[in-house]
Copies of this chain bind each other. A is one copy, B any other.
């Protein structure tokens, strides 16, 4: 079980790192900028989660193979041509997996520390989305939360509550976690596929 979680987590870290590097490359950053954005995108959510819950040492300090892996990816991405051809569209699936895993692990940790379902769902969503928020704030003219993109945070929120419901009904933490992750991944991919949004963009009133 732990190995499966760790493997999925690694997929999430790698996917988020790539989404950061692609955004940094689009802004024409140098290799240090690319590593910075990759690091922040992949590990920012977990850092916020651990700081808010006073969970020390931080996740990436306990698992230093993750910042090292991101450094290796950033060097490879900066200097190897094939990797640098990756586009945002290539990482939609791993990004959705990352969102699902990070969200559910954040929520799960909050529950273990004795917090309520509502607080756990908030912390889950923060864990899953904060890295991307920082990436977009640092890399885009139009920050992420300004855009009416396909549902993202809402999907993470819904997945948390589905997972809590499954846990309440069947008292099986592993199955509940898995259900949450699967729900988030599936809902996110459906949202991208069918362009599901909470609200449409309108021309800004002036």
Q: Is the CB of B143 within 8 A of A138?
A: yes
The answer to whether A30 and B199 touch across the interface, beta carbons within 8 angstroms, is yes
20 additional A-B residue pairs with CB within 8 Å, beyond A32-B154, A52-B58: A27-B146, A27-B204, A28-B146, A28-B201, A29-B146, A29-B148, A30-B148, A31-B198, A32-B151, A32-B153, A33-B145, A36-B145, A51-B51, A52-B61, A54-B56, A61-B119, A64-B118, A64-B119, A67-B122, A138-B145
A116 within 8 A of B: yes
In the assembled complex, A172 has its CB within 8 A of some CB on chain B: no
- Are B31 and A199 closer than 8 Å at their CB atoms? yes
- List, in ascending order, chain B residues with CB within 8 A of A57's CB: 53-54, 115
Q: Which residues of B contact A37 (CB under 8 A)?
A: 145
Q: Which residue of B lies closest to A65 (CB)?
A: B118
Interface size class of A (residues with CB under 8 A): 35 or more
In the complex, A202 has a CB within 8 A of chain B: yes
By a CB distance below 8 angstroms, the chain B residues around A205 are 28
Give the residue name and chain of the B residue nearest to A142 (CB).
Answer: B27
The answer, yes or no, to whether A90 is at the interface (CB within 8 Å) is no
With both chains docked as a complex, state the minimum distance between the C-beta of A152 and any C-beta of chain B, in angstroms. 8
The 4 closest A-B pairs by CB, nearest first: A30-B199, A54-B56, A30-B198, A33-B145
Return A6 CB to nearest CB of chain B, in Å: 19
CB distance from A11 to the nearest CB of B (A): 22
- Bound-state CA distance A119–B65 (Å) is 10
User: How far, in whole Å, are A152 and B115 apart by their CA atoms in the complex?
Assistant: 35
* A61 touching B145 in the complex, CB below 8 Å, given contacts A198-B31, A202-B28: no
Contact call A138/B137, Cβ cutoff below 8 A: yes
Chain B residues, Cβ within 8 Å of A118: 64, 67-68
Q: Provide the bound-state CA to CA distance between A144 and B53, in Å.
A: 29
Binary flags per residue of A34-75, CB closer than 8 Å to B gives 1, else 0: 001100000000010001111011100100100110000000
Shortest CB distance A66–B (Å): 11
Interface residue A197 (Cβ < 8 Å from any Cβ of B)? yes
